[in-house]
Structure 1
Amino acid sequence: MTAGSGFDAEAEPYRTRLARLGAVAAGHRDAMVPADASLWPDLPFPSLTETPARLRTMARAYALEGTGLTGDASLAAAVATGIDHYRRRVYTEGADPVGNWWDWQIGTPRKLLDAAVLIGPHLTNRRSGALRDAVDHFVPECRLNDYSGTSTGANRVDLCTVMLLRAILRSDPDKAALAVSALSPVFPYVHEGDGFYRDGSFIQHTFVPYQGGYGAVTLSGLATLFAVVRGSPWEITDPNRQVVFDMVERSFAPVVHDGFCMDLVSGRGIGREPYGDHRKGRGIASSILLLAEAATAAERDRWQRMVKGWASRNTSVPMLKAAESSDLGFHARLAAVLDDDAIPAAEEPVGHRLMAMSARAVHRRPGWCAGLSMASYRIGHYEHGNGENPRGWHTGSGMLYWWGEGHGDQYSDAFWSTVDPYRLPGTTVSTRRLADGAGEGWGDTCPPGRWVGGATDGMYATVGQHLNGFESTMEAFKSWFFLDDAVICLGAAISGRDGVPVETIVDNRRTDALLTVDDAAGWAHLEGHGGYVLPGGARLETLCEERASSSVTRSYATLWLDHGVDPSSAGYVYLLLPGASLAETRTRAADTGWARVLANTARTQGVEVPSLGITAVNFWNEGAAGGLSASAPCAVLVRERGDGTATLAVSDPRRDLSELTVTWDRPVAAVLHGDPFLASAATGATLTLTFERLAAHGGGSSTVTVRL
Structure 2
Amino acid sequence: MLSFLPAAGLLAVTKQLPAGAAPARSSDDHARFLANTIEIFAGTEESNARPEVADKLTAIARTARNRLAAMDDAGTGELFAGQPLGTSESNLSRSFQYLYEIALATKTPGIDDPDLANNTDVQQRVIDGLIWLHENYYGDQDEGYYGNWYHWEIGISTRATRTLVLLADQVAEYAPELTATYVESMDGYLRKGKDGDVDLDSRFHTGANLADITTNRILQGALLGDDARIEKAISDQQTVFATIDPYDLQHGVTDGYYEDGSFIQHHSVAYTGSYGRILLGRVVQSVKILDGTSYAAGDELVDVVHGWLTDGFAPVIFEGWMMEIVKGRAVSRTTTGYADVGAVVEAIVDLTDYAEPATATAFESYVKFIRSTSQATLDPTSFESPVSIPRYTDILGDDSIPAEDLNPPERSVAFNAMDKTVHRRPGYAFALARSSDRISKYEYMNYENLMPWFQGDGAYYLYLSGQDQREAFGVDYYTTVSPYRLAGVTSPVEERQTIPELYGQAWYENPDHPLEFTAASESQNTYVYFPRGTNGYSGGATLGAYGVAGMVQSDDVAYADKQRGILPDDFVVYQNTQAIKSWFMLDEEIVVLAAGIVDPAGRDAVTTVDSRISAAADDIAITGRERNGGTWSGTGTSQLDWLRYANAGQGTAVGYVFLDRQDVTVSVEEVTRSRQVVRASNPDTDVTKNVFGVSVDHPGGSSPTALAYALVPNAGEEQLQSYADGPLSVLANDERIQAIKHSELGVIAANVFTDRWQHAGRLAIGGPASVIMREADDAVTVALSDPTMDRDTVSVIVRGRPLKVDTADPGVEVTRIPGGTRIVADTHEAYGRSFTATLRPGWPR
The alignment partner of 1:65 has SS state of coil
Equivalent position of 1:37 in the other structure: 77
The aligned runs of 1:538-617 (5 Å cut-off) are: 538-550=662-674, 551-566=686-701, 568-588=703-723, 590-591=724-725, 593-617=726-750
CA separation in 2, counterparts of 1:705 and 1:485? Answer: 24
User: Map of 1:73-472 to 2, 5 A cutoff?
Assistant: 73-94=120-141, 95-123=143-171, 124-139=175-190, 142-192=196-246, 193-237=254-298, 242-273=303-334, 275-315=335-375, 317-319=376-378, 321=379, 323=381, 328-347=386-405, 349=408, 350-407=410-467, 408-409=469-470, 410-412=472-474, 414-437=476-499, 441=525, 443-469=529-555, 471-472=574-575
Match of 1:500 among 603, 608, 611: 603
Distance, in Å, in 2 between the alignment partners of 1:510 and 1:218 is: 32
Count the aligned residue pairs: 701
**Paired residues of 1:655 and 1:699 also in contact (CA < 8 A):** yes
- SS of the aligned residue for 1:540 comes to strand
Match of 1:670 in 2: 804
Tell me by how many angstroms 1:296 deviates: 2.3
* Alignment partner of 1:62 is 2:106: yes
Match of 1:650 among 784, 799, 819: 784
Query: In 2, distance between residues paired with 1:101 and 1:574?
Result: 47
Q: Distance in 2 between matches of 1:210 and 1:484?
A: 27
Q: What amino acid is aligned across from residue 21 of structure 1 in structure 2?
A: I
**1:101–1:25 Cα change, 3 Å:** same
* CA-CA distance at 1:487 after TM superposition: 0.4
Pick from 585, 589, 614: which aligns with 1:482? 585
Moved more, 194-203 or 433-442: 433-442
Whole-angstrom CA distance in 1 between matches of 2:800 and 2:42: 62
Q: CA RMSD in A?
A: 2.2
Match of residue 27 from structure 2: none
Aligned to 2:41: 3
Deviation of 1:697 (Å): 0.9
| CA spacing shift, 1:632–1:183, aligned 2, 3 Å | same
Counterpart residue number, 2:774: 639
Question: Contact (CA 8 Å) 1:682, 1:689: kept in 2 or not?
Answer: no
SS of the aligned residue for 2:443 comes to coil
Deviations 1:636-683 (A, max 9, x none): 1001122x1121001011011123321011324420111222144227
Which moves more between the two structures, 362-371 or 125-134? Answer: 125-134
The amino acid across from 1:542 in the alignment is: V
1:297/1:666 CA distance change after superposition, 3 Å: farther
Paired residue type of 1:516: T
Deviation track 1:40-92 (CA, whole Å, cap 9, x = no partner) reads 23211151332111111111111111222322212211211112212222221
Higher mean displacement: 165-174 or 205-214: 165-174
Deviations 1:92-132 (A, max 9, x none): 15242101111011011101111111122211212223222
Runs of 4+ in 1 over 4 A off after TM superposition: 33-36, 237-242, 324-327, 438-443
The alpha-carbon deviation at position 242 of structure 1 amounts to 4.2
Q: Which amino acid aligns with 2:787?
A: P
The 3-state SS of whatever aligns with 1:76 is helix
Write the distance in 2 (CA, Å) between the matches of 1:178 and 1:549: 50
Matched-pair identity in %: 27
* Residue 627 of structure 1: aligned partner: 762
Tell me if the contact between 2:41 and 2:386 (Cα under 8 Å) persists in the aligned partners.
Answer: no
Q: Is residue 160–residue 182 contact of structure 1 (8 Å, CA) maintained in 2?
A: yes
Kept after mapping to 2: 8 A contact 1:534/1:573: yes
Q: Which residue of 1 aligns with 2:625?
A: 518
TM-score by length of 1: 0.95
**Does the 8 Å CA contact 1:323/1:330 hold for their aligned counterparts?**
no
User: Are 2:433 and 2:460, in contact at CA under 8 Å, matched by a contact in 1?
Assistant: yes
Amino acid corresponding to residue 284 of structure 2 in structure 1: A
Deviation at 1:473, TM superposition (A): 4.5
Indicate conservation of the 8 Å contact 1:609/1:615, yes or no: yes
What is the alpha-carbon distance in structure 2 between the residues aligned to residue 305 and residue 79 of structure 1? 42
Contact 1:189–1:243 (CA under 8 A) maintained in structure 2: no
SS of structure 2 residue aligned to 1:233: coil
Cα contact 2:435–2:532 (8 A) shared by 1: yes
The AA in structure 2 aligned to 1:655 is M
Q: SS of the residue aligned with 1:144?
A: coil
Q: Distance in 1 between matches of 2:587 and 2:66?
A: 56
Q: Determine whether 1:687 maps to 2:821.
A: yes
- Structure 2: which 5+ residue stretches go unaligned? 1-36, 247-253, 503-507, 509-523, 557-573, 630-640, 647-651, 675-685
Indicate if the aligned counterparts of 1:176 and 1:234 stay in contact, CA closer than 8 A: no
1:22 is aligned to: 61
Q: CA deviation at 1:262?
A: 0.6
More divergent stretch after superposition (396-405 vs 471-480) = 471-480
Q: Does residue 534 of the first structure (1) align with residue 658 of the second (2)?
A: yes
State the AA in 2 paired with 1:660: V
In structure 1, list runs of 5 or more residues that go unmatched: none
Distance in 1 of aligned mates of 2:837 and 2:818: 16
Matched residue of 2:92: which SS? coil
Taking a change above 3 Å as real, the CA distance of residues 9 and 187 of structure 1, as seen in their structure-2 partners, is closer
Are the equivalent residues in 2 in contact too, given 1:13–1:324 (CA < 8 A)? no
How far apart are the structure 1 equivalents of 2:257 and 2:59? 39
- Choose 1 or 2 for highest CA Rg: 2
SS at match of 2:390: helix
CA distance in 1, matches of 2:795, 2:807: 17
Over 3 Å counting, the alpha-carbon distance change for 1:506 and 1:469 in structure 2 is: farther
Deviation at 1:35? 6.5
CA distance in 2: counterparts of 1:309 and 1:252, whole angstroms: 14
Letter in 2 for 1:646: V
State the alpha-carbon separation in 2 of the partners of residues 108 and 493 from structure 1: 51
Residue 369 (structure 1) shift? 0.6
Tell me, what secondary structure is at the counterpart of 1:300? helix
- SS state at 2:663 partner: coil
The amino acid of 1:251's aligned partner reads G
